């Protein structure tokens, strides 16, 4: 998360906050689905990297399936003739259970000791209820629902990608070393001569006529054969040159092939050609899974846009209703709401209505890794094609380039003088004033050859840039750079607290600097998983978003950490921000957005508070409106301080009981971050205010 604030004071009277558990606020529908499966009764199952979802009838919404395995990816699903479902998982530890059995209603689960600690890429259940599991180069065959198994091997260096049973009861194995088939006992395996070791087979299907089609990763070609003994012919041509992602037959034996640039082609065997069947128009949104439905429809998942269906009339419709499996790329506060960017579009969470709206940018989809709020209707966004200014109106937005059109922008930062800093993937760090679109490269050779991840500006004006090679420091506003810290795992994020201390996420630990980034102290956060994001909040707390471990919280400047993940249904957290009212929002990698609401230990009932304060608009250009709610008539003291603790404005007013409106004129204030302090009796309320010139 990108957060640039000059802070020199600690607002200590906010440090007594108590935080409740996280709750999901949903998020944009869709997401990166890796596996689709249709049960015998027509219920659809879908899995992303952490969660399993189910959907019954066509008009029903998806619902999250509660599973006994936490945060593990489902790699394969199969169903036995008697109805039992088997799920094969990806492994994290040597002790991880990776094969589970459940009933169609998911009311009871049994875990198998087979394949423990290994990735189970593919499983099939045979007509005689045998369960066949692939583990690396080995095949496990179980006759007792996964309790025990007989093992056979396809040979050294062979990795099985997919298992398929043909219509003669023969088992076929697609591998990185060609195509194999087994004997009737599933013990001995032979290689198909015409699909030998020089073929890396990533997908395979058998149609109703027992014809075999394979997808070869090595040559990026599709081969089709009438039998295993015969020759396979290459049928790949005129498909646009993009890598293929999968193949599938429908119930009428029509062959389809999908690509990683979001296209589906159908094969016309009579004319020996491929016809474009579907094109989503988004090259970065590839097809990840193809499924032939029992009713003849073709169901598929797109990289980050959920599940879709093409019926027999060729009509396309989304099946993503209620499917919140999106990865959140960036978040930003705007006019009391929250903007969220996924890999496909920008959405607005209306906090009062608890509602999500998609924002179409120039009637198209748009993604951003970093967003800076400039006004109540304007943001500056990092994109794959430079820096963009976006003006938002209701559910639409207009866009214009601010420069660097040929560069992939990773993060944005802004200083109080309205200078914008743009960090690129491997092309250095640039600065520009928002009054024009002229950019200056302020990075040296070392910085330019690093993968930059974030930037902070300290209270003394030092520039800190994090990267895959450590942390760089400039004490002269980017004219020269030195290594602040190296010899450590790559640094994924930087944040700054209310004392001006700098924190860096590096592997499983955080690094802390109390001297403007010159010296660092390491504190462990997790024994197992790396940190993806850091957030320092206005009450002095620290939050660490972890990979597959949820969120950890530190109340003592990073010295000790406690896991704070209750209520999270997705454990990989990729974004953290503090909302304008002090709540914490966490963006996940595949489960939408979660909210942590603040409550106070000393005053658990809001009605007992003597003062409740809110501000709008925020960011503010000129007039800041302040809504003050007090229980009785009394004198209220308002102070606006900057991030060095200097008093900027003071106002004392006698206000009546109930709701009052007060305003401050900030038109002549410099852009940046301020604190509004409101005092009544022995209670104090503090609101963070962002001043902008836009």
653 with 528, same domain?
no
| Nearest residue to 684 via CA among 584, 580, 612, 607 | 612
Residue 110: C-alpha distances to residues 2, 52, 74, 102, 176 (Å): 44, 16, 16, 6, 31
Are 584 and 678 in the same domain? no
246-260, 327-341, 607-621, 674-688: which has the minimum mean pLDDT? 607-621
DSSP string for residues in 303-340: TTTEEEEE-TTS-EEE--TT-EEPBP-EEEEETTEEEE
Q: Are residues 631 and 655 in the same domain?
A: yes
Q: How confident is the model at residue 6 (pLDDT cuts 50, 70, 90)?
A: very low
How many Å apart are CA 523 and CA 205, to the nearest integer? 51
For residues 382-405, average pLDDT: 91
Q: For residues 630 and 655, is the Cβ–Cβ distance under 8 A?
A: yes
User: Does residue 277 form part of some domain?
Assistant: no
**Statement: residue 568 has pLDDT above 50:** yes
Higher pLDDT, 692 or 535: 535
- How large is the average pLDDT for residues 228-256? 82
* pLDDT tens-place string over residues 611-665: 677 788 878 888 998 888 887 888 888 888 876 667 888 888 888 888 889 999 9
Q: Are residues 369 and 488 in the same domain?
A: yes
Which pTM was predicted? 0.78
In the block, residue with structure tokens 């032979």: 190
Tell me how far apart the alpha carbons of residues 334 and 577 are, in angstroms, rounded to a whole number. 12
Three-state SS annotation for 64-125: ECCCCCCCCCEEEEEECCCCCEEEEECCCCCCCCCEEEECCCCCCEEECCCCCCCCCCCEEE
Question: Is the Cβ–Cβ distance between 78 and 110 less than 8 Å?
Answer: no
Sign of the Cα torsion 400, 405, 409, 415 reads negative
pLDDT: which is higher, 622 or 162: 162
Q: Which residues lie across from 291 on neighbouring strands?
A: 299
Residue 474 maps to which CATH number? 2.130.10.10
Q: Name the residue with tokens 């399936």.
A: 65
- In the prediction, which pLDDT does 1 show? 36
- Note the pLDDT of residue 120: 95
Place of tokens 């992303």: 48
pLDDT at 676: 84
> Going by C-beta distance under 8 Å and a sequence separation of 6 or more, which residues neighbour residue 62?
46, 53, 54, 55, 320, 321, 322, 323
Q: What is the mean pLDDT of the chain?
A: 86
205 domain-assigned: no
CB-based burial of residue 196 (10 Å sphere; 0-12 exposed, 13-18 middle, 19+ buried)?
A: exposed
Residue 59 lies in a domain: no
The upper half-sphere exposure of residue 355, i.e. CA atoms within 13 Å in the direction of its Cβ, equals 5
> 258 - beta bridge partners?
246, 264
Name the domain boundary from 581, 600, 619. Answer: 600
Backbone angles phi, psi at 650, to 5 degrees: -135, 145
Is there a single domain that holds both residue 531 and residue 677? no
Res. 238 pLDDT band, cuts 50 70 90: low
Per DSSP, 184 falls in state T
Q: Which of 578, 600, 622 is the last residue of a domain?
A: 600
**Residue 636 belongs to domain spanning:** 609-691
d(CA 590, CA 343): 11
Classify 421 as helix, strand or coil. Answer: strand
Statement to judge: residues 585 and 621 lie in one domain: no
Are 592 and 677 in the same domain? no
Cis peptide before 617 (omega within 30 of 0): yes
* Residue 57, number of CB atoms within 10 A of its CB: 8
- Indicate which CATH number applies to the domain containing 648: 2.60.40.2550
pLDDT of 9 reads 32
| Residue among 253, 338, 239 nearest 25 (CA) | 338
DSSP string, 642-689: ETT--EEEEEEEEE-SEEEEEEEE-TTSPSEEEEEEEEETTEEEEEEE
**Same domain flag for 402 and 536:** yes
Q: Which of 265-274, 424-433, 542-551, 645-654 has the lowest mean pLDDT?
A: 645-654
Q: How far is CA 495 from CA 124, 444, 454, 515, 611, in A?
A: 48, 23, 9, 14, 30
Q: Which residues pair with 123 in a beta bridge?
A: 133
Q: Write out pLDDT tens, residues 346-366.
A: 999 998 888 899 888 876 778
Same domain, 576 and 552: yes
Is 163 part of any domain? no
- Cα gap 156→219, rounded to integer Å: 22
Q: Which of 405, 401, 439 is nearest to 420 (CA)?
A: 439
Tokens of 469: 């090679």
- Each residue's pLDDT tens digit, 287-317: 888 888 877 789 999 877 889 998 888 888 8
The whole-number pLDDT of residue 603 equals 33
- How many whole angstroms separate alpha carbon 391 and alpha carbon 694? 11
Q: Is residue 678 situated within a structural domain?
A: yes
Max Cα separation, the chain?
94
Give the per-residue pLDDT at 17: 39
Q: pLDDT band at 241, cuts 50/70/90?
A: low
Closest CA to 650 of 632, 670, 660, 636: 636
Cβ(454)–Cβ(442) below 8 Å: no
Q: Are residues 594 and 613 in the same domain?
A: no
* Residue with more model confidence, 588 or 618: 588
Give the residue from 568, 600, 632 where a domain finishes.
600
pLDDT tens figures, 460-472: 899 999 999 999 9
* Domain-embedded: residue 156: no
Q: Are residues 378 and 500 in the same domain?
A: yes
The pLDDT value recorded for residue 8 is 33
Inside any domain, residue 144: no
What per-residue confidence (pLDDT) applies to 58?
A: 63
Q: 590 with 618, same domain? A: no
Give the tokens for residue 643.
């991030």
User: What total number of domains does the chain contain?
Assistant: 2
* More confident position, 11 or 361: 361
| pLDDT for the residue 284 | 61
- Please tell me which residue, 260 or 502, carries the higher pLDDT value: 502
What is d(CA 320, CA 9) in angstroms, rounded to the nearest whole number? 47
Domain-embedded: residue 84: no
553-575 average pLDDT score: 89
Q: Considering only residues 382 and 415, tell me which one the structure prediction assigns the higher pLDDT.
A: 382
Query: How many other C-beta atoms are found inside a 10 Å radius of the C-beta of residue 315?
Result: 9
How far is Cα 553 from Cα 653, in angstroms, rounded to an integer? 38
């Amino acid at each position: 998360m990108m957060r640039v604030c000059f802070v020199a004071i600690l607002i200590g009277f906010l440090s007594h906050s108590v935080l409740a558990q996280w709750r999901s606020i949903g998020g944009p529908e869709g997401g990166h689905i890796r596996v689709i499966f249709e049960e015998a009764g027509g219920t659809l199952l879908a899995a992303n990297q952490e969660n399993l979802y189910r959907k019954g009838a066509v008009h029903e919404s998806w619902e999250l399936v509660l599973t006994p395995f936490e945060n593990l990816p489902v790699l394969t699903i199969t169903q036995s003739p008697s109805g039992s479902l088997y799920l094969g998982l990806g492994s994290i530890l040597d002790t991880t259970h990776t094969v589970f059995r459940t009933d169609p209603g998911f009311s009871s689960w049994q875990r198998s000791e087979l394949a423990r600690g290994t990735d189970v890429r593919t499983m099939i259940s045979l007509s005689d209820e045998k369960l066949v599991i692939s583990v690396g180069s080995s095949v496990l065959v179980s006759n007792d629902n996964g309790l025990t198994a007989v093992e056979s091997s396809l040979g050294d260096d062979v990795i099985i990608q997919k298992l398929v049973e043909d219509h003669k009861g023969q088992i076929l194995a697609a591998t990185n070393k060609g195509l194999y088939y087994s004997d009737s006992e599933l013990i001995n395996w032979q290689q198909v001569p015409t699909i030998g070791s020089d073929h890396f087979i990533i997908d395979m299907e058998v149609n109703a006529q027992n014809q075999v089609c394979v997808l070869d990763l090595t040559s990026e070609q599709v081969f089709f054969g009438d039998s295993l003994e015969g020759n396979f012919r290459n049928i790949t041509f005129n498909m646009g040159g993009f890598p293929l992602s999968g193949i599938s037959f429908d119930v009428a034996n029509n062959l389809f092939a999908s690509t990683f640039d979001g296209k589906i082609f159908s094969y016309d065997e009579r004319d020996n050609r491929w016809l474009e069947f579907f094109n989503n128009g988004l090259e970065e949104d590839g097809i990840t899974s193809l499924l032939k439905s029992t009713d003849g429809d073709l169901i598929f998942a797109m990289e980050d846009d959920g599940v879709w269906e093409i019926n027999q009339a060729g009509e396309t419709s989304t099946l993503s209703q209620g499917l919140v499996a999106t990865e959140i790329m960036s978040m930003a506060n705007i006019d009391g709401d929250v903007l969220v960017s996924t890999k496909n579009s920008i959405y607005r969470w209306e906090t009062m209505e608890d509602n999500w709206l998609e924002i179409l940018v120039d009637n198209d989809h748009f993604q951003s890794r970093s967003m800076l709020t400039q006004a109540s209707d304007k943001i500056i966004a990092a994109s794959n094609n430079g820096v963009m200014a976006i003006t938002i109106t209701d559910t639409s937005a207009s866009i214009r380039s601010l420069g660097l059109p040929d560069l992939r922008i990773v993060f944005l930062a802004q200083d109080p003088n309205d200078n914008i800093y743009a960090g690129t993937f491997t092309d250095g760090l640039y600065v520009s004033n928002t009054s024009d679109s002229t950019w200056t490269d302020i990075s040296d050779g070392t910085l330019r050859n690093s993968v930059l991840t974030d930037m902070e500006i300290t209270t003394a004006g030092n520039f800190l840039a994090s990267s895959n090679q450590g942390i760089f420091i400039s004490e002269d506003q980017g004219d020269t750079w030195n290594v602040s810290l190296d010899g450590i795992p790559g640094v994924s994020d930087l944040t700054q607290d209310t004392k001006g201390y700098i924190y860096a996420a590096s592997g499983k630990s955080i690094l802390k600097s109390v001297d403007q980034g010159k010296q660092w102290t390491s504190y462990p956060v997790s024994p197992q998983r790396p940190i993806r994001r850091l957030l320092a909040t206005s009450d002095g707390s620290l939050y660490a978003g972890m990979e597959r471990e949820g969120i950890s919280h530190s109340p003592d400047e990073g010295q000790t950490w406690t896991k704070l993940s209750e209520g999270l249904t997705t454990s990989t957290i990729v974004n953290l921000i503090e909302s304008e009212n002090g709540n914490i929002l966490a963006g996940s990698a595949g489960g939408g957005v979660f909210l942590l609401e603040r409550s106070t230990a000393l005053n658990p009932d809001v009605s007992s508070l003597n003062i409740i304060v809110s501000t709008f608009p925020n960011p503010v250009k000129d007039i800041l409106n302040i809504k003050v709610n007090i229980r009785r008539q009394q004198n209220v003291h308002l102070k606006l301080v900057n991030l060095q603790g200097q008093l900027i404005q003071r106002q004392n007013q006698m206000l009546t009981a109930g709701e009052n409106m007060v305003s401050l004129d900030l038109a002549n204030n410099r852009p940046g971050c301020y604190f509004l302090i409101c005092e009544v009796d022995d209670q104090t309320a503090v609101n963070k205010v962002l001043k902008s010139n836009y």
